[in-house]
Chains A and B, each alone.
Chain A
Amino acid sequence: MLLRVENLRVWFQNDQNWVKALSGISFELNQSESIGIVGESGSGKSVTALAILRLLPEKGMRIKGKVWFEDKDIYALSSQELCRLRGKKIAMIFQDPLTALNPVFTVGEQVSECLRYHYNLSKSQAKEQTIKIFQDVGIPAPESRFFAYPHQLSGGMRQRVMIAMALALRPKILIADEPTTALDVTIQAQILKLLQEIKDRQKMSLVFISHDLTVVAQIVERVLVMYAGAIIESGSLKQVCESPLHPYTQGLLNSIPRIEEISQEKRRLPVLCGERQEREIGCPFYGRCPKKMSICLKERPPFKEPISGHKVACWLYD
Chain B
Amino acid sequence: MIKELHLKNILEVKNLTKFYLVKRHPFELKKRPLPAVVNFSLTLRQGELFGLVGESGCGKSTLGKLILLLETPDQGEIKWKGQDITKLSSRELKAWRRRCQPIFQDPLASLNPRQTVEQILEEPLVVHNLFRGKRLRQRKITRILQEVGLPAHFKKRYPHELSGGQRQRVTIARALILEPEFIVADEPTSALDVSVQAQIVNLLLDIQKSRNITYLFISHDLSLVAHIADRIGVMYMGQLVEIMARRHFQTNHHPYTECLLKAIPSFGKKPLSPVLGEPPNPLKLPPGCPYQTRCPYKKRVCSQEKPALKQITGGHLIACHLF
Q: Choose, from B15-23, B104-112, B124-132, B223-231, the stretch at the interface.
A: B223-231
CB-CB contacts of A166-195 with B at 8 A, as 1s and 0s? 000000000000000000111111101100
Q: Which of B244-271 contact A (CB under 8 A)?
A: 246-247, 249-250, 259-271
A255-B194 contact, Cβ under 8 Å, with A189-B262, A266-B205, A271-B202:
yes
Residue pair A215, B265 in contact (C-beta under 8 Å)? yes
Q: Is A108's CB within 8 Å of the partner chain B?
A: no
**Number of contact residues on A: which range applies?**
35 or more
Which residues does chain A contribute within 8 Å of B42, judged by CB atoms? none
Which residues does chain B contribute within 8 Å of A14, judged by CB atoms? none
**Total residues of chain B contacting the partner, CB 8 A:** 51
Q: With A and B bound together, what is the CA distance between A257 and B249 in angstroms?
A: 15
A193-B271 contact, Cβ under 8 Å, with A260-B266, A262-B227, A275-B165:
yes
Which residues does chain B contribute within 8 Å of A267, judged by CB atoms? 227
Q: Is A241's CB within 8 Å of the partner chain B?
A: yes
Q: With A and B bound together, what is the CA distance between A270 and B202 in angstroms?
A: 9
Which residues does chain A contribute within 8 Å of B1, judged by CB atoms? 265-266
Which residues does chain B contribute within 8 Å of A135, judged by CB atoms? none
Q: Is A157's CB within 8 Å of the partner chain B?
A: yes
Q: With A and B bound together, what is the CA distance between A187 and B278 in angstroms?
A: 7
Q: Is A256's CB within 8 Å of the partner chain B?
A: yes
Residue pair B55, A189 in contact (C-beta under 8 Å)? no
From B198, B206, B246, B264, residue with most partner A Cβ within 10 Å = B198
24 A-B pairs with C-beta separation under 8 A? A40-B194, A40-B196, A154-B278, A155-B56, A185-B220, A186-B263, A186-B275, A189-B272, A190-B275, A193-B272, A211-B194, A217-B267, A218-B265, A252-B195, A257-B227, A257-B228, A261-B227, A266-B227, A266-B229, A266-B246, A268-B202, A269-B228, A272-B199, A273-B199
Q: Show the binding face of A for B, using Cβ within 8 Å.
A: 40-41, 154-157, 184-190, 192-193, 196, 211-212, 214-215, 217-218, 241-242, 251-252, 255-262, 264-273, 275
Q: Across chains A and B, which 9 residue pairs bring their CB atoms closest together, nearest first?
A: A255-B198, A269-B198, A40-B193, A189-B263, A272-B195, A259-B223, A185-B263, A214-B265, A257-B227
